[in-house]
Amino acid sequence: MSDVELEAFYKEHLEESIIKQLSKQENISLDEAMNLYYNSKLANYIHEGKYDIQYLDYKVLTDNLIKELQNQDFPC
């Protein structure tokens, strides 16, 4: 497995963990959590590798995502 493939696999697993954690913490469906995540700044930062944010723990990232969503008046 190349470095690029490994990085893509890691990011995919990270996104999955964030979505599951968001669903669990906020008691929402996985579909709702997925929609919120993929429409967030966090998803863009992870996808772009911005600030190396993708190397932080998924629980920390989920907490940051919830704060981001609360600032946008989402029902979290």
Mean pLDDT by 10 residues, the chain (76 residues): 89 96 97 96 92 93 94 64
Residue type, 7: E
User: How far is CA 47 from each of CA 8, 19, 24, 31, 39, rounded to the nearest angstrom?
Assistant: 9, 14, 23, 19, 12
Distance CA 76, CA 66 (A): 7
Output the six-digit token pair for 27: 């008691």
Burial 28-42 (b: 16+ CB within 10 A, else e): beeebbbebbeebeb
Q: What is the pLDDT of residue 4?
A: 87
